[in-house]
């Protein structure tokens, strides 16, 4: 569930194609994890898939309560376009460094991520990606993102509602930009 969140989640100095490529690629990382809740994936993100990636049995409630740790291992195969290992932690930063394929101009994503929770009538999970770098042979994008989901830990599909977030891109191919965009996958 949390995998790709870690992976998670426009511009006068650049040509529109570079900017759109960067935005769509970052959104592509987020869309598959929410596909069960989404009506349609964003245009241009349909080739990147994670639906057949290994789904290890993790008691996410125990992870959220910091009673146990989880290790998520991924290998490239048909329907799994990520490769690497993620060890998500709650309330403390953890690194993500994944190889990617079928995601436009990019082949790697690295970031520092933090997961927090708000206990309300329905719990809210907050995912913060910092120092994000999406890179490929010819392109590099520096970004940060925040996203929130309402969860139901007792449900098979723990994500009950996407609350949205914000994507901030600070650099594309060495050129400083200041791009902020609200994001919501529904």
The region of weakest confidence among 1-10, 39-48, 63-72 is 1-10
Q: In the structure encoding, which two tokens stand for residue 172, read together?
A: 């594309």
Instruction: Give just the sign of the alpha carbon dihedral 141, 146, 147, 152.
Output: positive
Which tokens go with 152? 């139901």
Average pLDDT score over residue span 180-185: 86
Query: Does residue 47 surpass a pLDDT of 60?
Result: yes
Q: Does the pLDDT of residue 33 top 70, yes or no?
A: no
- The tens digit of pLDDT for each residue in 87-146 reads 888 888 999 999 999 887 889 999 999 988 887 788 888 989 999 999 998 889 999 999
Phi, psi of 6 (to 5 degrees): -70, -25
Percentage of the chain beyond pLDDT 70 is 73
pLDDT tens figures, 93-102: 999 999 999 8
Mean pLDDT of the chain: 77
Nearest to 7 by CA among 118, 124, 100, 117: 100
* CB 171, CB 177: distance < 8 Å: yes
Most confident option among 2-16, 30-44, 60-74, 89-103: 89-103
As a whole-number percent, the residues of the chain with pLDDT over 90 amount to 30
Cα dihedral: 91, 81, 85, 126 (round 10): 0
Neighbours of 137 (CB within 10 A): 8
pTM over 0.95: no
What is the reported pLDDT for 22? 80
């Amino acid at each position: 569930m949390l995998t790709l969140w870690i992976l998670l989640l426009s511009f006068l100095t650049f040509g529109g194609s570079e900017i759109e490529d960067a935005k769509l690629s970052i959104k592509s990382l987020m869309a598959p994890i929410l596909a069960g809740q989404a009506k349609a994936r964003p245009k241009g993100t349909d080739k990147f898939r994670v639906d057949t990636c290994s789904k290890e049995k993790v008691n996410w409630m125990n992870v959220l309560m910091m009673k146990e740790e989880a290790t998520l291992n991924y290998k490239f195969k048909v329907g799994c376009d990520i490769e690497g290992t993620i060890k998500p932690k709650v309330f403390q930063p953890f690194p993500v460094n994944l190889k990617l394929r079928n995601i436009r101009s990019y082949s790697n994503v690295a970031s520092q991520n933090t997961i927090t929770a708000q206990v309300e009538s329905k719990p809210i999970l907050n995912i913060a990606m910092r120092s994000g770098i999406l890179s490929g042979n010819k392109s590099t994008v520096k970004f940060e993102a925040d996203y929130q989901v309402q969860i139901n830990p007792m449900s098979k599909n723990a994500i009950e509602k996407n609350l949205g977030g914000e994507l901030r891109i600070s650099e594309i191919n060495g050129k400083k930009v200041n791009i902020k965009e609200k994001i919501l996958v529904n």
